[in-house]
Amino acid sequence: MSAPPPQGSAQIARWAAASGLGYEFRPEEDWFRRWEPHDTIAPPSHYFNACTWMAYPGHVVLVEPWYAPDDVDPLQRSVLAFAVHPGLTRRAAMRVGEHFLTRVAFIESAPPPTVKVGDPVWDAHATTFAASSSEATTAFHPRVRKLLSGWGFQGHLEIRPGGLVLYYAGLQPVPEGYDRLLRIVKQLVAKAVAPYPPGSR
């Protein structure tokens, strides 16, 4: 990258060191590209300022997706969370609201079907994508839906076997945004891997 580092990179590096997280200014992109194509999120041009929190049996990577060429500032900046955990076994995606990183072109793969989970509040506010309603209902089981609803969640969440990707609207690529997103994704993974109550919606 020939242009200067994104604004705030030094502060994020210091936050990661103080928090005991691994840090890479320009992380290995192959790891992130293996998550693509996303169901609802457009792929960025690059990734910067990756911070990794390790916790058996998985880990979380917080990173800034760069939606612009190297030498141009993007119109908006944000931070994504990638969580890896073997307890995540379903595949479904959801979003609340339209955002700058919402995927609108489906060249590499067709969009997944839009489904309902049978929860009137959820179905009224969230757009849910999965191979079937039962797959979505199991991935976004009641504990997950209650947690997101309590946050007034706006953004994107994609769950797939072995991991999830989270965009929480409004968080900026600054230490406070990284710190809050880490706390959010820890709670979310804990709820998502909890056993799904049979027969509940």
The pLDDT tens digits for 34-64 are 999 999 999 999 999 999 999 989 999 999 9
Reference 109, options 37, 32, 33; nearest CA is: 37
| pLDDT tens for each residue of 173-194 | 999 999 999 999 999 999 999 8
Specify the pTM. Answer: 0.92
Q: Find residue 24's DSSP bridge partners.
A: 50
Does residue 62 sit in helix, strand or coil? strand
126-170, pLDDT tens digit by residue? 999 999 999 999 999 999 999 999 999 999 999 999 999 999 999
Q: If you ran DSSP here, which 8-state letter would residue 6 be given?
A: P
**Is the previous residue joined to 43 through a cis bond, with omega within 30 degrees of 0?**
no
